[in-house]
Amino acid sequence: MIATESLSKRFPRVTALDRLSLDIGPGVTGLVGANGAGKSTMIKILLGLSPASEGRAEVLGLDVATKGAAIRERVGYMPEHDCLPPDVSATEFVVHMARMSGLPPAAARERTADTLRHVGLYEERYRPIGGYSTGMKQRVKLAQALVHDPQLVFLDEPTNGLDPVGRDEMLGLIRRIHTDFGISVLVTSHLLGELERTCDHVVVIDGGKLLRSSSTTDFTQTTTTLAIEVTDTDEHPDGTRAVRDALHARGVDVLDSGRGLPGSGHILLLTAQGEETYDLVRDVVADLGLGLVRMEQRRHHISEVFKDSDESTDAQRKEAVGHGG
């Protein structure tokens, strides 16, 4: 879908992108970085609107330097900032934007009605945008990026300014753009945490440099973490410790993470190696005569995965994840 080769962008004072080489396939890809890491610059270059200082990039197999117009016909773009005129209705606005993408008038109307419905705008689409909530405005922005049925959409910070519920809805919608609509997504965020639920692939950039590019499923699903909580009994006043010891005796090490969080003393985390681990835990707990309060799968947080990648920017990323939580 997207391929860059030592792509660089230098402004008189700053280097926004520094020899970035990427290869992004179909699916939902997260582009993560702190503010000013070069995410928006990258999107501008990929849309063929800003020439790269060095290197080359291809979108959908088209060179951004020469085929900008052809690329822009096939991709959608949702900007980070507000971009909606308040005095027109969502329908009129999106129809106009569909025509600006080259759709004939009748098709533009039909696609607008469809797209607005898919992003979850119903009766309110005939009212002027000025009266919309932030969540509704984000939906209109998303609709105008999807209305011409692109093969790929660039979503620049789509969850900005949304409350937790709105954020979850937006992330769910982004997921559906790929699974239901068959459109690939490149979504940027400065919050690492929220992308793990949504993306197939995460690219982390910092200071214009590629920090890491990996598939989220690689490390969040193959090694599932189990969280276990048990009751205490008279026989075992500290049930948690008893289970820990019993598991240790059977050769399963309990992970140390989760310390310092409230209630973490009662929760055991261990790595599931497959079906046997679940059976083992069940047997151990039953043998000890304890009650199993919970046994749930926990996906690794991407932050854990990146923890060992680069110490220098670690603090920054933790902060970002903290915001995301």
Partner 1 sequence: MAVEHSTATQQGDQTRIHNIGYRSYDGPRLGRSYATRSLFSQSLRGSYGLGRSVKSKVLPMLLFVVMCVPAAIMVAVAVATKARELPVDYTRYAIVMQAVISLYLASQAPQSVSRDLRFKTVPLYFSRPIETADYVRAKFAALASALFLLTGAPLIVLYAGALLAKLDFADQTKGFAQGLVSVALLSLLFAGIGLVIASVTPRRGFGIAAVIAVLTISYGAVSTLQAIAEVQDSSGAIAWMGLFSPVTLIDGVQSAFLGADSAFPGGVGPSTGEGVVYVLVTLGLVAAAYGLLLRRYRKVGL
Q: Could you give the C-alpha distances from 84 to 79, 154, 214, in angstroms and in order?
A: 11, 17, 35
- Residue 44 sits in the site that holds partner 1 (CB under 8 A): yes
| Contact string 87-106 vs partner 1 (x = CB under 8 A) | xx---x---xx-xxxxxx--
Among the listed ranges 19-27, 162-170, 179-187, 281-289, the one in contact with partner 1 (CB under 8 A) is 179-187
Residue 275 in tokens: 């079906």
Is 180 near partner 1 (CB under 8 A)?
A: yes
CA distance 208 to 224: 32
Our CB check for partner 1 shows the closer of 31 and 103 to be 103
152-156 and 184-189 beta bridge pairing: parallel
Q: Does 49 bind partner 1 (CB under 8 A)?
A: yes
Query: What six digits make up the tokens of 18?
Result: 């520094």
**Nearer Cβ to partner 1 (96/209):** 96
Site map for partner 1, 238-277, x if CB under 8 A?
Answer: ----------------------------------------
* Binding of partner 1 by 77 (CB under 8 A): yes
Can you read off the two tokens belonging to residue 115? 């797209």
| Nearest-angstrom CA–CA distance, 173 and 62 | 27
Q: Select the span of 110-118, 163-171, 261-269, 273-281 touching partner 1 (CB under 8 A).
A: 110-118
- Output 44 or 167, the one with its CB closest to partner 1: 44
CA torsion through residues 111, 116, 122, 124, sign: negative
Measured from the CB atom, is 77 or 306 closer to partner 1? 77
Please say which residue, 140 or 243, places its beta carbon nearer to partner 1.
140
Of 209, 61, 76, 237, the closest CA to residue 153 belongs to 76
295 counts as binding partner 1 under rule CB under 8 A: no
**Alpha-carbon distances of 310 from 8, 17, 192, 306, 317, rounded to whole Å:** 21, 18, 15, 7, 10
DSSP codes joined into one string, 157-215: STTTT--HHHHHHHHHHHHHHHHTT--EEEEEES-HHHHTTT-SEEEEEETTEEEEEEE
Could you list the residues that contact partner 1 (CB under 8 A)? 40, 43-44, 47, 49-50, 69-70, 72-73, 76-77, 79, 81-88, 92, 96-97, 99-104, 107, 111, 114, 118, 128, 144, 148-149, 176, 180-182
